[in-house]
Chains A and B, each alone.
Chain A
């Protein structure tokens, strides 16, 4: 079974540019989450999709961040325009819709996208 795939693995962009990160969850996982770790800080929640719907986006830092999950499959996270403080590692995770599965397998994380804004 393929895991959670994130693309790109690394991205270096200039301040003011736009970057789009992509996450392909495990097939059949209804829940998709975005997290990020900025330099020296803890991993922080950004938002949660259930299928194509945003269940919780309380962690999104500001309106420069836009997440979508059209069709309930893969998701994109766009940062526009990027600022220096957006640098960090962005993780995507997915989990099945069932409580029992979540208890047994937890969330499956991708390897992350390392974003550097210069």
Chain B
């Protein structure tokens, strides 16, 4: 399974756009890139998944360059409630297990 590297922590302010980048240099051809969000005392929550180029949903956007060795989760206009840990995961999409790394702890300040 491909290993991912993310910043340990990031700070932002309300209303700003936050971009969290994840590197996954040994991503395989069949691998998808998935991001999860986790609040204290809760399980991880699915945010977005993509394979290449750009994916957007009502919560976030995911940018994936052509070489797919990195990806960037973009959160538009964050609020205090977006303070959480964000995990980048890489794996195939066949219902197989996820491998969590250390995640990025995002702190949104007023």
A residues contacting B by CB (< 8 A) are: 4, 31, 33, 35, 42-45, 48, 50, 55-56, 59, 91-93, 95, 97, 99, 102-112
> Mostly helix, strand, loop or mixed at chain B's interface?
loop
Q: With A42-B102, A103-B32, A106-B34 as known contacts, state yes or no: A48 contacts B43, CB within 8 Å.
A: no
Bound Cα distance A48, B98 (Å): 10
B99: min CB distance to chain A, Å: 7
Q: Are A45 and B43 in contact (CB under 8 A)?
A: no
Q: With A103-B49, A106-B36, A106-B49 as known contacts, state yes or no: A91 contacts B43, CB within 8 Å.
A: yes
Bound Cα distance A102, B95 (Å): 7
B51: min CB distance to chain A, Å: 9
Chain B residue numbers with a CB within 8 Å of A111 are 41-43
Chain B residue numbers with a CB within 8 Å of A99 are 93-95
